[in-house]
Structure 1
Amino acid sequence: MNTALREAMAASQLTDTDVAAHLGVDPKTVRRWMTGQRPYPRHRWAVADLLGVAEADLWPDEEPSPTPPPSPHAQRVYPHRWQVPREVWHDLFASAEREIGILVYSGLFLADDAGMHKVLAEQAQRGASVRILLGDPESQHIQRRGEDEGVGDALASRARNALLLFKPLCDLQGIEIRLHSTVLYSSLFFTEKRVLANQHLHGLPAAKSPVVVVDRATSPDMAETYVRSFELIWQEAKPATR
């Protein structure tokens, strides 16, 4: 008996005949679902949309998904940057004692977050070195990246906006911002404890690309590979001036 399906149909004031008509199936088929038969995926999706509930609420997974084995190098992998909780970013920077490094084209999700500005400022006041590398809006690589993502000049505009938003931090001791003209294969966010590497995939914005979390104590070689890349770009970047 699928009690959840029956309750959802009752809440929507739909009968088995109504559901069958919407989906183009026989009412007997809907009644079999109500008694516990599991529909094909396309029918599960359609019923869930019709009733306005999550598919998993009507048909929970039959078996829990197996937990993938932990990687000996990556502490965690997020399929998309937008899935990284804000608390993870906050904890990353707030835990810094010696250094914070940020390498992005624009990083607007941080630049537009007043709370993150506060964290960066506080850590700088406590003695941490905060270095931020933003893409030079006039760089041909930013123009090309915008074209690859299908957003044209929007990426350069975001870089300009991020620069304006981050600029007040330049007045604080311990914080430095530079502009780079480099092709980025990863955006990097790190402290002396962890590295978050946001991969860059062709044609996709960074927010939709994976993020790899690396612990610098347990995977020093992998972490230092990313940090070394940051250092090379930092050396070639130019100071952001008002």
Structure 2
Amino acid sequence: MLGPVVSASIGGVNVRLQTVLHQRGIEPESLADVCEVDPKTVGRWLGGRVPHPRHRRRVAHHLRVEEGFLWPPAVDDTASTNVELVATYHNRAEVPRETWLTLLGNATEQIDVLVFSGTFFAQSNPRVAQTLIERARQGARVRLCFGDPGCRAVLERGIEEGLGPDTLAAKIRASLTYYRSLVTAQRCEVRLHGTTLYNSMFRYDDTLLVNPHIWGQPASANPVFLLKRVNEVGWFDNYAESFDAIWADAQPWIPD
């Protein structure tokens, strides 16, 4: 029997409930019918409100997941249980577009992106550059770190993925064109790195999406972990420190 529970909420959204609905192809209105509640009630659940116990049980049964996954038991801050891992996705395409947009739109302090090309990041949000500048104007620090098109790591990664020696470099150059306006924007920086990249990372304040790289496969085909920072000795800070190390050696991007 669950004791006090908390919503698995990131940026005001119960990401786990949202993700399971997306993966099962179930609309919120359909879940409302199953639970015999108003669709607005399901909307509040998705927004982070914890349902009544009988509704939690019915939702978990209908979605074929553990109730404690959707609404984890409350834990003491000193507990050793790792609650940083909020959600996992089989591949990047399974991360709902609404999750990307919500995290970006709600960030107030820090936005960090580490990729080789990150083409999807702009293609999934045509206003991504404007949104990043708006976030910076509201006080957030924006750091975007792309692969250096001329570096050996990019050349080797393209060959490993079967793209040929020049394709990934061309994708990086095309992706960078979306961010020209950030070069002169306050609190925004764009740099190029030449490191062997083990993970793509997307940080929004204390939330982090990590996209591990499997050899020979494009990043889009690999899993994504959604982490929420809990303390200074967890996964989140380890990944954040690796970003800082790569950023320190990266060079500012100067558009042609």
Q: Aligned to 1:136, which of 123, 134, 148? A: 148
Note the residue ranges of structure 1 that are not aligned, 5 or more in a row: 1-62
The residue type paired with residue 102 of structure 1 is V
What is the match of residue 131 of structure 2? Answer: 119
Asked if 1:224 corresponds to 2:237, the answer is yes
Asked if 1:151 corresponds to 2:174, the answer is no
The answer to whether the Cα contact below 8 Å between 2:116 and 2:154 also exists between their aligned partners in 1 is yes
The residue type paired with residue 226 of structure 2 is V
How many aligned positions are there? 180
What is the match of residue 30 of structure 1? Answer: none
Offset of 1:172 from its aligned partner? 1.1
Offset of 1:219 from its aligned partner? 8.1
The answer to whether the Cα contact below 8 Å between 1:73 and 1:219 also exists between their aligned partners in 2 is no
What is the match of residue 105 of structure 2? Answer: 94
Offset of 1:125 from its aligned partner? 0.7
- Following superposition of structure 1 onto structure 2, how do residues 29-48 of structure 1 map, counting pairs within 5 Å? none
What is the match of residue 56 of structure 2? Answer: none
Offset of 1:99 from its aligned partner? 0.7
The residue type paired with residue 134 of structure 2 is E
Offset of 1:65 from its aligned partner? 7.2
The answer to whether the Cα contact below 8 Å between 2:192 and 2:250 also exists between their aligned partners in 1 is yes
The residue type paired with residue 89 of structure 1 is W
Aligned-residue RMSD, C-alpha: 1.9
The answer to whether the Cα contact below 8 Å between 1:90 and 1:119 also exists between their aligned partners in 2 is no
Other structure's SS at 1:114 match: coil
- 1:9-60 CA-partner distances (Å, limit 9, x unpaired): xxxxxxxxxxxxxxxxxxxxxxxxxxxxxxxxxxxxxxxxxxxxxxxxxxxx
The answer to whether the Cα contact below 8 Å between 1:90 and 1:116 also exists between their aligned partners in 2 is no
Q: Distance in 2 between matches of 1:179 and 1:131?
A: 11
The answer to whether the Cα contact below 8 Å between 1:150 and 1:203 also exists between their aligned partners in 2 is yes
Q: Distance in 1 between matches of 2:62 and 2:105?
A: 35
Q: Distance in 2 between matches of 1:208 and 1:122?
A: 31
Offset of 1:218 from its aligned partner? 6.5
Q: Distance in 1 between matches of 2:121 and 2:229?
A: 22
Offset of 1:101 from its aligned partner? 0.2
Q: Distance in 2 between matches of 1:236 and 1:99?
A: 19
Q: Aligned to 1:110, which of 112, 121, 127? A: 121
Deviates more, 1:173-182 or 1:70-79: 70-79
- Following superposition of structure 1 onto structure 2, how do residues 56-95 of structure 1 map, counting pairs within 5 Å? 66-67=64-65, 70=69, 72-95=83-106
Offset of 1:216 from its aligned partner? 1.0
Q: Distance in 1 between matches of 2:228 and 2:83?
A: 10
- Following superposition of structure 1 onto structure 2, how do residues 143-182 of structure 1 map, counting pairs within 5 Å? 143-152=155-164, 153-182=166-195
The answer to whether the Cα contact below 8 Å between 1:81 and 1:198 also exists between their aligned partners in 2 is yes
Offset of 1:122 from its aligned partner? 0.8
Q: Distance in 2 between matches of 1:147 and 1:111?
A: 24
Asked if 1:209 corresponds to 2:218, the answer is no
Percent identity, please. Answer: 35
The answer to whether the Cα contact below 8 Å between 1:101 and 1:132 also exists between their aligned partners in 2 is yes
- 1:122-180 CA-partner distances (Å, limit 9, x unpaired): 10111110000000000111111111111112111111111122122212111100000
The answer to whether the Cα contact below 8 Å between 1:80 and 1:208 also exists between their aligned partners in 2 is yes
Q: Distance in 2 between matches of 1:135 and 1:219?
A: 28
Cα distance 1:116–1:134, how it changes in 2: closer, same or farther (>3 A)? same
